Each structure stands twice: as structure tokens, then as C-alpha cells.
Amino acid sequence: MSISANRERCVPNTVLIKEILKDPMTTYWEETAHTPFVLKEVSQNSIEYATVCATFQQTSRGMSIKKLERVENPYLLGHYLMKKEKMGSEDSTVREKNLFHGTQRSYVNNICKYNFDWRKRGSSRGHKFGQGVSFAPEVSYARHYTMDNVMILAKVLVSRATIGNHFTVVPPTSFDTTANSKCSVIVKYDDDDFYPQYVIHFNRI
């Protein structure tokens, strides 16, 4: 039986879901069934929309959000929160960043269901700064990695970063992240170091 099939047949742990829904990141979530995830369109009149829009516009260089969807996946979030706690207990320098990941519309569901897959090693647009999952702090940079105007705003855990290159399969010992010299690209390699929080559909100008 495939791993995907096993995941599809998982029985929801309602106790765990209720605990996860207490986290501040789930402020706008609704306590509904998640099998295994739900995409909720965010109202343009909400504080949540305004907050994400402000983050987007800081580096969008004229682009605008067309539609915003919240990813509600308590299973992925649970793993992320446990990783966050583990990394924080081992290293006080851990930072939680809001970073953008340009992608293709056909990949969105799998990312929302299973998370980003660092094993694909930049299969869409290469891996110039490391063979993991690439993120960017600026919208204008992340947009180069999508052909159909969709990107994901993710929570990403970063502790110790070093400069990466095309040949970096994993970071050197004591590092968990690689980047370019300007830190305009952040590359991650470990499971659960990230959580896809929002799917952003945008217009180019």
C-alpha cells in the first residue's frame, strides 16, 4: 500500500485537533472537519485579509492580491508546532519567518495536503542556492517561480544559515538553512520546518 493511500485513510484525532486549534496561528480557523485539509477563502473585508495584504504589498512592486485562501491542515500544523518547540529548546536563535514560495497551480493541493517536498530539489526552476525547498522574503522575487500567478505565504523556521550553492545537498554540520549572499533566497531541507499558511492568487501589473 502506498504512503499516499495510508495518509488518505488516517482517522482524525479530534483531541489533537482541538489542542492545535488553541494555537494563535489558528485564530481564524473554524472547528470543522479537516480531511485532511480545508482551503478557506478569506473575506476581503476582514482584518486577516488586510494583514496578509499589507505583508504582500511591502515587496510586491505593483502586484495585487486577487484571492486569498487560508490553509487549515491541523496535521501539518501539529508537526510544525512540535518542530518549532524542539528547535527552540535546542537553540535560542531560532526565528519564525513569513516567507513566500512561488509555485504552480497544479501543485497547490499536494502542498496543502502533504507540505512542501524538499526531496524534489527545485525541480520546477532549479536549485541555485541549495537542493531543498526555496523561499523568499520578497514577493517580487518569489513571483519568478510561478507561471500562473499563485504563491504560498509560509511560516518557516530558521536557526543557523550559511551560503549555499547548486551542489549543496544538505547544509554543513550545525546549519539547518542555506541562503544566497543577500538572503533574498532561503532554502530549507528538513521535514516540518515550514507550514503553508496561505495560498495567494495575484494579478501582475
Candidates 78, 100, 109, 94; CA nearest to 155 is 100
The residues of the chain scoring below 50 in pLDDT are 1-12
The greatest distance separating any two alpha carbons of the chain, rounded to the nearest whole angstrom, comes to 48
Candidates 62, 10, 97, 52; CA nearest to 203 is 62
Position 132 scores a pLDDT of 92
Which residues contact residue 136 at a Cβ distance below 8 angstroms, ignoring those fewer than 6 apart?
99, 100, 101, 102, 142, 184, 185, 186
Give the CATH number of domain 3-203. Answer: 3.90.228.10
Position 17 scores a pLDDT of 60
Adjacent-strand bridge partners of 186: 135, 179
Position 161 scores a pLDDT of 95
- Beta-carbon-side half-sphere exposure of residue 137 (alpha carbons within 13 Å): 10
Q: Report the chain's mean pLDDT, rounded to a whole number.
A: 86
d(CA 104, CA 146): 6
Q: For the whole model, what pTM was predicted?
A: 0.85
